[in-house]
A and B are shown apart, each in its own frame.
Chain A
């Protein structure tokens, strides 16, 4: 897939070192390490219960690891351990430099306020206060995610599932984040709606040079969007590599099972 603006010798944006999480006697995630570079899309694949959502929660600072560290290179160029960030700093990061696209748009949107306000709210949170400019930027973003601007004053509860998901993406991207976490962004959508959303995500990611960590159980989504893939099973990363390498030449028994379970198109 496209990876423009990709610099060869840059520094990682996000680094996970030996991340583990246990809930009582259950080890949800064990010893996961990787680096993510600007503009790079990493897919985490595996079945339910493999630990991929737990990992995403730790990477995005929403869940404290039992062991290990996550560090992030802030906009000022300084790399910080997420555990040392104060609550206010962490929230600020989430409102500006990070995005989080939930599987269920209702979790990432305010369903009862207008679409324009949903997008504008993120801008106001970073200090924008000129109503006209906020509305103009919100309209631009609605257009970019292919939502008719005539619907700007309608609340997302009046939107279809696909529109809601596109609105959630606009709300996340309006502050020009460098890193976006996505948790099964196409789950629960009709196949035709999925294709449109994937295509939109693919071009936005390339255009904005976004780094993305995307959790999905759908290998077709991983193939279309990601550069690299990590396969998880039982809380461990069992195979990792270039996406087409892992999908076309899988080595581990479990990865071979996953790949062979895809129905031919």
Chain B
């Protein structure tokens, strides 16, 4: 089987120039792969570098060395050395990212926030909105809120909008940064269902989940991040 994500010996250090150039090692020797239809959960205590690894896979944090191989439209792109234009292309058609917090654009209606990834990839607005509506329904966001911008929603509602936006597209890779953190039991169950559906569609996923029960339900494999801790 060909891995969707293949990371080899990736390393990341922050240099804090405003603090006298302190070097803050984050991770080193990060090596693992993710196959299609598989959900790999990163484990380790807070500060071990789980989110940093996720951001490196998304091209949001730069790597100092190593390789972040991503299968993109049949070829492998190394995000550690990719040009900005390549990274944007990979994000548009290959990697989706569900962050912990919604970065909402003022004035854009919830239904459009959710539908946007499909519209960007060429779906008609009406079809995209229909799909967005189904997902918002499943995630228990009442229809009367759909035309409002999510900026004023509660934390849990915003996270569900964010999840809907992340799960709506048919991208072959999904990165999930604590997707269930502020959700109640009913909505956590919906997220577990959504992850299972993505597996059946052969989507490769990397997740950070603190809840043991959820981790048990979605993880096919666990990668312990403490092994990648960079000794200062």
- Considering the complex, give the chain A residue whose CB is closest to the CB of B107: A199
**B18 proximal to A (CB < 8 A):** yes
Q: Are B59 and A4 in contact (CB under 8 A)?
A: no
Supply 29 A–B pairs (Cβ within 8 Å), ascending by A: A2-B120, A4-B119, A4-B120, A6-B88, A195-B106, A198-B106, A199-B106, A199-B108, A202-B105, A206-B120, A224-B105, A227-B84, A241-B84, A242-B59, A242-B84, A242-B87, A242-B88, A245-B59, A245-B60, A248-B61, A249-B14, A249-B55, A249-B61, A251-B15, A251-B62, A256-B18, A257-B17, A257-B18, A260-B18
Q: Which residues of A contact B89 (CB under 8 A)?
A: 6, 8
- Considering the complex, give the chain A residue whose CB is closest to the CB of B12: A249
Q: Are B88 and A195 in contact (CB under 8 A)?
A: no
Q: Which residues of B contact A40 (CB under 8 A)?
A: 85
Chain A, 199-255, CB within 8 A of any chain B CB: 199, 202, 206, 224, 227-228, 241-242, 244-245, 248-249, 251-253
Q: A199-B108, A249-B61 are in contact. Are A256 and B16 (CB under 8 A)?
A: yes
Q: Which residues of A contact B88 (CB under 8 A)?
A: 3, 6, 227, 242
Q: Which residues of B contact A73 (CB under 8 A)?
A: none
**B122 proximal to A (CB < 8 A):** yes
Q: Which residues of A contact B107 (CB under 8 A)?
A: 195-196, 199
- Considering the complex, give the chain B residue whose CB is closest to the CB of A199: B107
Chain B, 71-120, CB within 8 A of any chain A CB: 84-85, 87-89, 92, 105-108, 116, 119-120
**A37 proximal to B (CB < 8 A):** yes
Lowest 6 A-B CB distances belong to which pairs? A253-B17, A242-B84, A195-B106, A249-B61, A199-B107, A2-B120
Query: Measuring CB to CB, which residues of chain A are less than 8 angstroms from any residue of chain B?
Result: 2-4, 6, 8, 37, 40, 195-196, 198-199, 202, 206, 224, 227-228, 241-242, 244-245, 248-249, 251-253, 256-257, 260
- Considering the complex, give the chain B residue whose CB is closest to the CB of A250: B17
Q: Count A-B contacts at CB 8 Å.
A: 64
Q: When chains A and B are docked, how far (Å) is the Cα of A239 from the Cα of B61?
A: 14
Q: Are A3 and B62 in contact (CB under 8 A)?
A: no
Q: Are A37 and B85 in contact (CB under 8 A)?
A: yes
Q: Which residues of A contact B121 (CB under 8 A)?
A: 4
Q: Are B105 and A253 in contact (CB under 8 A)?
A: no
- Number of B interface residues in the complex (CB < 8 A): 25
Query: Measuring CB to CB, which residues of chain B are less than 8 angstroms from any residue of chain A?
Result: 14-18, 55, 59-62, 84-85, 87-89, 92, 105-108, 116, 119-122
Q: When chains A and B are docked, how far (Å) is the Cα of A244 from the Cα of B103?
A: 12
Give B93 Cβ to nearest chain A Cβ, in Å. Answer: 9
Give B54 Cβ to nearest chain A Cβ, in Å. Answer: 12
- Considering the complex, give the chain B residue whose CB is closest to the CB of A198: B106
Q: When chains A and B are docked, how far (Å) is the Cα of A78 from the Cα of B107?
A: 40
Q: Which residues of B contact A228 (CB under 8 A)?
A: 84
Q: Are A248 and B17 in contact (CB under 8 A)?
A: no
Q: Are B17 and A256 in contact (CB under 8 A)?
A: yes
- Considering the complex, give the chain A residue whose CB is closest to the CB of B93: A8
Q: When chains A and B are docked, how far (Å) is the Cα of A244 from the Cα of B122?
A: 24
Q: When chains A and B are docked, how far (Å) is the Cα of A174 from the Cα of B17?
A: 46
Q: Which residues of B contact A245 (CB under 8 A)?
A: 59-62, 84, 87
Q: When chains A and B are docked, how far (Å) is the Cα of A260 from the Cα of B16?
A: 11
Interface centre among B61, B119, B120 (most CB of A within 10 A): B120
Q: When chains A and B are docked, how far (Å) is the Cα of A1 from the Cα of B215?
A: 31
Give B161 Cβ to nearest chain A Cβ, in Å. Answer: 17
Q: Are B62 and A249 in contact (CB under 8 A)?
A: yes
Q: Which residues of A contact B62 (CB under 8 A)?
A: 241, 245, 249, 251
Interface centre among B84, B89, B106, B116 (most CB of A within 10 A): B84
Q: When chains A and B are docked, how far (Å) is the Cα of A190 from the Cα of B105?
A: 17
Give B109 Cβ to nearest chain A Cβ, in Å. Answer: 12
Q: When chains A and B are docked, how far (Å) is the Cα of A37 from the Cα of B122?
A: 20
Q: Which residues of B contact A206 (CB under 8 A)?
A: 120
Q: When chains A and B are docked, how far (Å) is the Cα of A4 from the Cα of B128?
A: 14
- Considering the complex, give the chain A residue whose CB is closest to the CB of B55: A248
Give B14 Cβ to nearest chain A Cβ, in Å. Answer: 8
Q: Which residues of B contact A2 (CB under 8 A)?
A: 116, 119-120
Q: Which residues of B contact A199 (CB under 8 A)?
A: 105-108
Give B1 Cβ to nearest chain A Cβ, in Å. Answer: 26
Q: When chains A and B are docked, how far (Å) is the Cα of A253 from the Cα of B87?
A: 24
